[in-house]
Chain A
Amino acid sequence: MFYTPSSELPTHLILRNQLRQVFFPSLGIHLPRPPQLFPSSPSSEASSKWLDAHYDPMANIHTFSACLELADLHGDGEYKLVVGDLGPGGQQPRLKVLKGPTVLSESPLPALPAAAATFLMEQHEPRTPALALASGPCVYVYKNLRPYFKFSLPQLPPNPLEQDLWHQAKEDRIDPLTLKEMLEGIREKAEVPLSAQSLRFLQLEPSEMEAFVNQHKSKSIRRQTVITTMTTLKKNLADEDAVSCLVLGTENKELLVLDPEAFTVLAKMSLPSVPVFLEVSGQFDVEFRLAAACRNGNIYILRRDSKRPRYCIELSAQPVGLVRVHKVLVVGSNRDSLHGFTHKGKRLWTVQMPAAILTMNLLEQRSRGLQAVMAGLANGEVRIHRDKALLSVVRTPDAVTSLCFGRYGREDHTLIVTTRGGGLIIKILKRTAVFVEGGGEAGPPPAQAMKLNMPRKTRLYVDQTLREREAGTASSRPASALCAPPQPCTGPSRQTSTCCASGPPVPTRRPSSPA
C-alpha cells in the first residue's frame, strides 16, 4: 500500500509516521518504523554524549540561527522554542512556537523575519520575557504571544537639495527634464543618497516623466531603511533575568540601542559597512563591548561612548558567524575556517573545517561552566569547539542551516538543529556527558593506515623480464645494426631509441596500470 507524504497532515501525525522518506522521497513508500532514530553507527551509539529526542524531516522549517530563540514565554517553567520561519523559498513567513516535538502555535508574519530575540522588558511581575521580531523596518514585540507593540525605525533625513527640487516640481516651477538633470547631478556628488522616488524617476523614459511627476509631486520625500540584525544587551544588571535593551543593526550602516520600556533610541553608533552579525557583552549603563561583523568582510569592535569602531579585524573573507566565548571572539569565515580573536583584534588561533560553515552559535553548559562554539557545516556535521580543540562532532543527515542550544521543555541542555530540507532535529545532552578535548579526530590522519594502491604485475611480465635478461644483447643488436653510421652522440641516441622502439617487443613499454 502506498502513502504519499502529505504536508497537510498535522505535525504530530507526521511524527508518528517516521518514514524512511529521507531515503525514498520520490517513491512515497510508507514503511512502518518505530518513531525517532535515524541510523547512527553502532560504535558511536554507546559512547555518544547525545540522546536523540526528535527527528522530523518534514517539519518544513526554514530559518537562520538568528531567528531561533528558547524562552519561557508563558512563565510556566517549560521553555518553548520560537522560530521565525521564512517558509520554503522565502514565501509564507510565519512565527512558529514549538513545545516539545509539536508546534504550539503558528501565525503569519507581514514580512520575512531578519532576527528574533527574547528579552525582559520590565521589572514588575509577571517576569515573562517578551518576544521581539525584526522584519523590514519594524520590530514587532509580542507579549504572551500576542502582538503588543510595533517599533518602526526613524526615517532617515532626506537630501535637502532633492527635497527642494521636488518642492519646485510641485509648484510647477521646474520641468521634468531639468529635474532629471539636477537629480543626476546630486547623485554624482552627494553624501546623502537619493530617495527611491527620485531614483525611479531617473530611470524613466522621457515620455513617462510628465505623468510620473504629476502623480508623485505632492508626496513628501521619504527615506526608510531596514533592520539587518538584532540582539539583546542587558541594561544595568548582569543577572539572567535582568531587563535588556534591544540592539539593532540597520542597512544604513548604523547601530541603534533601544530602551525596553519606552522604545526610544538610547544610543546610535555608525559603522563603515552594513552589519550582518552582532555580539554584545556587558551592560548598557555600565560598560559594554559590541562586535559587529559587516558585509565588507571586517569585524568592528565598539565600546560604550564611542561613536565609531575602536578596533577592526580584517578577515579577507566573508564572516559566516560570530560567537563570543568568554573573552574570545570566534569568527567563521566562508573559506571553511574558524578563527579566534581577542577583543582587541589580535588573531589567536585558526582551525580548518572539512566543509563550508553555514551557521554558528554558542553552547553553554552552565552547570560545568563550559562555553563552546557550535559550527553547522554543509556536510551535515555540527562541530563543537572550545578554542582550537574539537570537543565533539554531531552528525545529521542533511546540511545544517541553523543551531540553538539551551533549555527546552524542562531539559537543561538541548541542541536544536534545522536542516536545509526543512527538517528539525532535537538532541539532548546526557547528564553524564563530559566534553573532553580530543573527542574528535586526533593523531595521524586515517589515510596513513591505508595501503598504497600499487599496480600489480602479471606472471607474463616476470617471464618477459627473464627473457630480456637472457637475450637482451641479442634482441637489441639487430636494431642497432640498422642504424646510420657514426654521428655526434646525441644523434644516434635519438635514432637508436626510435629504432629500438620498432624492434623486438620490449615488454616494459606498455603502460601497465590504469591511472
Chain B
Amino acid sequence: MYLYSLTLQQATGIVCAINGNFVGGKSQEIVVARGKNLDLLRPDEAGKIQTLHSVEVFGAIRCLAHFRLTGSQKDYVVVGSDSGRIVIMEYHKEKNCFHKLYQETFGKSGCRRIVPGQYLAVDPKGRAVMIAACEKQKLVYVLNRDTAARLTISSPLEAHKSHTITYSITGVDCGFDNPIFAAIELDYSEADQDSTGQAAAEAQKHLTFYELDLGLNHVSRKWSEPIDNGANLLVTVPGGDDGPSGVLVCAENFVIYKNQGHADIRSVIPRRADLPAERGVLIVSAATHRQKSMFFFLLQTEYGDIFKVTLEHKREEQDRVHVTELKIKYFDTIPVTSAMCVLKTGFLFAASELGNHALYQFQAIGDGDDVEASSATLMETEEGFQPVFFQPRGLKNLVRIDHIASLMPIMDMKVMNLFEEETPQIFTLCGRGPRSSLRILRPGLAISEMAVSQLPGVPNAVWTVKKNVSDEFDAYIVVSFPSGTLVLSIGETVEEVSDSGFLDTTPSLAVSLLGDDSLMQVHPNGIRHIREDGRINEWKTPGKKTIVKVGSNRLQVVVALSGGELIYFEMDMTGQLMEVEKHEMPGDVACLDIAPVPEGKQRSRFLAVGSYDNTIRILSLDPDDCMQVLSVQSVSSPPESLLLLEVQASTGGEDGADHPASVFLNAGLQNGVLFRTVVDMVTGQLSDTRSRFLGLRAPKLFKAIVRGRQAMLCLSSRPWLGYIHQGHFLLTPLSYETLEFAAAFSSDQCAEGVVAVAGDALRIFTIERLGETFNETVIPLRYTPRKFVLQPKRKFLIILESDQGAFTAEEREAARKECLEAAGIGENGNANNGDQMENGGGGADDEDKEDPLSDEQYGYPKAESDKWVSCIRVLDSKTGNTTCLLELQDNEAAFSACTVNFHDKEYGTLLAVGTAKGLQFWPKRSFAAGYIHIYRFIDEGKSLELVHKTQVDGVPLALCQFQGRLLAGIGSVLRLYDLGKRRLLRKCENKLFPNMIMSIHTYRDRIYVGDIQESFHYCKYRRDENQLYIFADDSVPRWLTASHHVDFDTMAGADKFGNVYFVRLPQDVSDEIEEDPTGGKIKWEQGKLNGAPNKVEEIVQFHVGDVVTCLQKASLIPGGGECIIYGTVMGSLGALLAFTSREDVDFFSHLEMHMRQEHPPLCGRDHMAYRSAYFPVKDVIDGDLCEQFPTLPPDMQRKIADELDRTPGEILKKLEDIRNKII
C-alpha cells in the first residue's frame, strides 16, 4: 500500500512570532512560526490580519529573531530549527517568497540537548547573532556587510560552557560598544556528584554576560552574577541614547532589573487574589514598545494577565544611566500567549498558546489607575517579600479588533454527514478549559453576507456596470425578470432609478460597459447602445428572429440568433457599434464567450461557441480569417456556460511566482462537470484538458475579481470560486446556498463583492479568508473536551469534558460573587463607581448583564492539582443546543465513553462512561478510584439517566461494545463486562497488557487493543472457553495517541512523537489463525520473547511532525475514495490517500525525489531525514513537497518535467487531480 500525504489545513497554533519591516517600506509585518510552517502576516488598514505568504519548511521551527543592518530599511529573519543549521533569510516582495541568504551548519540535526537551535538572540544593532542550545553550546556569528552592501556572516565563535543549562538568552543594548549577550545559566556538575543533596540545594542560577570582541574576533565571559533561582526569561532594556541598557530578568514572582555595575532593582509581580498561595507567577511572554522618547515592556503571566513595566532612570555624570525605580502595573488580561508583538501602528498581535489568536488595538497605554507594584515600595518580611494583590477586570487599554481562528489543540475528531449536505462535515473538539469548543468544519470558503433584499418577482439574471471605464466602483445593478428589467443605482444606498437609459419593459440578456463610457443592453429583440451623452442607438434583429445568447467584451459583441446565426459587432473609432460579419452555425448555439481585449490590442482574437451537439468551437475574430473555426473540442455533455479566463499565476507582485499567463477555456457542462482547457494564444488550439464534477446542476460561469485578479464563480448546486492563491489556481466551494446568477460587485463599502440572485432575493456578499480550506461553526464548551461519541439513532453528540485543577461551577459562582462584592466595597469610596456597583450587585442574577469577568478571557481560577471538574454533555448538533449537561461530583473526571447495546436488549442503547476520581500525574500517577457509569437515554435521547455505577480497580481509558457486552480497558487489564441490575458483572479478563490500554476496536471476533506505550495487540475472544488471549503484537514500542481500525488485519496508529503508521498482520499468519480450530491458542500459550507468538508488520510509516490526536477513515467528497484523515495538537488536519495505480506511485515518487533534490526545504532540514525522524519513512509520498512544484522557477519546472518525460502543465494537472480526489 502506498499513500499520498496531504495537509488539508496547515497548523493553526503559533510557536513564536516576531514583528518588523520584512517587506521593506513603512508597513509592519509579523512573521509567525507554526511548527513546520512559516507565515508572513500583515494587518491591513481595516485591522484585518492578512496572510501574505505561507511556506512549509519540513522541519521544526523553534525560535525566530530579526535584525537590521545599520542604515538598512529592511529586516532579515533568523530561524532556529531542528536542522542543526542557522538560516538567515529575507522576504522577496517581487517573487513573494522567503529567500535564503545564509545557511550555516553547526551540528547534528534533530532537537537535541546540546545542539543549538533552541534560543536565538541578536545584537540590537544587528552586528551579531547568538544561537544556543538547552545545554552547553552557544555559538556567535558576526554579521557584517560587504562592499556591495550585501549581508555577510562569519564563521561561528564558541561560547560553550559544559554542564550548564541555559534558560534564556538575549542581546544587550550597549550602543556601538562591543556586542554583549546575556544568558541565564545553571551549572549542574556538582549536583550530579553530590549524594547528600546539599549541592543541588545550593545550585544557583547566574546571569552571564558574553562579550563579543569585534577587534579580536573572540567571545569571552565578561561578567557573571547569581540571580534569583526562579529566573526564566530575559528581556532587553533599550540602551545607548534611549535608555539605561541592561536586562530585565523575569523570575517566578519577580521582575529584576540587572546590569553590570548596577545594583539590582527588584519588584514583585502582583498576584491574582484568588491564586492558591503555593503557586508562583511566571512570565511566559514579553513584548517591548520603543518610541523616541519612551519605552515600556508588556509582560504576560501564565494566567493571562499583562503587566506594563516601566523603568525610572536618570542620567548621571560620565553619561552613566542610573535606574531608580522599576514599576509593574496591571495592564489588561487576555488569553495566555506564546508570543506578543507590539506594532508601531498601535496594534498588539497576541499569538495564543491554545485557541484563537487576536489582534488588539491600544486604547490607552496603561496610564490609568491600577494596581501597581514598585521596587520603591517593596517590603521584605520574615516570610519573604510582601505580595501585591489585584483583581482582573475588563479590558481597559486594549480592544480586540480581529481574530485568527486556531483549532489548536484538536482533541478528537469525527467526519460525519449529520446535516445531510453534499459533503460530510468534520466535527472537531478543540481548545482547553473555558476556551474549549466544538467546531464544525466544512470544506469551502466562508462568506459574509452584506445585504439581502426581496425583489418584486423572481429574477433570472443580474449584472453590475460602471459608467466609465476609469471608475473605481460600479454605478448600476441591473436585474432582469422574465418580463422586464429593473435598474438599481449604487450610491450611499441602493435604489431604483428610471433615468439610466435602459429599456425596462423587456428582459435583458446582457448588460455591460462598452468602449470607455457607453452602456449596452442586449435584449431578445435587439441591442440598445446608450452613449455617454444620452443618445441611444438601437439595433433590431432581422425578421422574427430573437437573440438567444450574447458574448461581449469592452469592444466586441457577438450575438447568437435563434436558429444558429452568429452576428459579430465591433466598436469603431467613433464609438459606433458596427456589424462586421455574419456566420451560420450548424445548429442552435448553447453558449458563447469572448475573451477580454488584451492590453494594447484592438480586439480579442478568440470567440468560443458551445453547441448542443456536445462540441465547443473556437472561432477567430481577426479581420483576416473572421469566423473561421480554429479548433473544435468535443465534450461529454452539452455545454451550458463558457468563460475564457486569463489565469495569470502571476507576474510577480505580492502573490505568486513568475509564470506566464495562459488563457483557460472554462465550460460548465449540463452533467455538472466543469471542463477546463488551455487555449493557445497564437493558434487557438486547445490542449491540456481537466474536468471536475462540481454538483448536480450545470455550472454557470461568471467573472469575478479576487484580490485584483480575475477569478471565476461557478454556480452549480453550490457555488464555487476559482481563483489564484499564492501561485496556485484553486477551485473551492463557497459555504452558501444555491445561487442562480451572479456578478462581481464593487462599491464604496465593499471593494470586491459579489451580487447574486437566488429565488426572489438579491444577495450581496463578500468572500472571506481566501486560501483557507475549511470554514467553521463554533459551539462553545465548558471544560477541556476529551472525547465524543455519536448517539446513533438521534444523531446527538455526547461530549466528555474534564479539567484538572479547576473549581466546580458552584464554587466558581460563589467565588465570583464574593469577589464582586469585595470589589464593590473597595470602590465604594468613589461615589460614581458606587452607584454602578449597586446596579451591578442588584442585577447579579440578570442574564443580560455583560459578564464582567468572562472565563474565556480570564481563564478559570486555579485549584489544587488533585481537584477535577468534569461534565457529560448531550448536544443537538443541528441546533447547537445542549439538551443535557451532567456535572460529575467529587473530583471525578470522565475519560472514555461508548454506546453499547447489551444482548438482553432490555434497555436498548446505553451509554458507558469511564471515569477516574482524584487522578494525579505528579509525582507518580495515582487515583482514588475508577468507575464505569452506565446511562440510559431518556426524552428521545435528549437526556441521560444514571442506571448504575461500578467501581473498578484502574482508570478505564477505553471502552467498546463487543458481542452484546462491554469491553473495558482498565489500567493494564482488558475486561469483559455484562450488564447486571445493580452493577456491571465481570465475565472474563486478560491481565497481560504491558502498561495501560488506551484504545479498543473490535471487528468480528477480533479485538484490537492499543497500549499507551507498546502499540497494538491483536486479541481474540473464545466464547466456548470464555477466554481472551493475545495472538499478535507489535515489535516496536509506540506511544500511542490515536488509533483507527482499517481492515481485518490492519490498524492505523499515531504516536506521541508525531509519527503515523499502519501495521498489518501477515496474510499467512492471519489465515492460519482463522483456520486453526483453537484460534492459535496453543501457539499463544507458548509465546515468544515475553510477547505474543505472532508479530504484526509495519507497512506504512510517516513522520507528520506534530502530535496526531485523532485518526479516521472517511471520504470528504461525494463519490471520492476514502482516505485517513488526521487531526493534530497544533490544529492541523491532514489526509492520507491510498494510490490506486502503480503508475501514479512511480510518477509521484519520482516527482518527490526531484523536488527533494532541486528544492531542499527552506530551513535546512533534509526532507527525507525529517520524514524519517524517528523511523524510516515507508511507502508514503509527501504531497506537501510535491505541491511546492508550482512555486519553482519556470526553468526548474521544465527541467524536472523533462526528467519525468512530461510537461510542467501535465505535472500541475496531476497534482490538481490527486488533490481533487481528496477534497
- B is bound to A: no
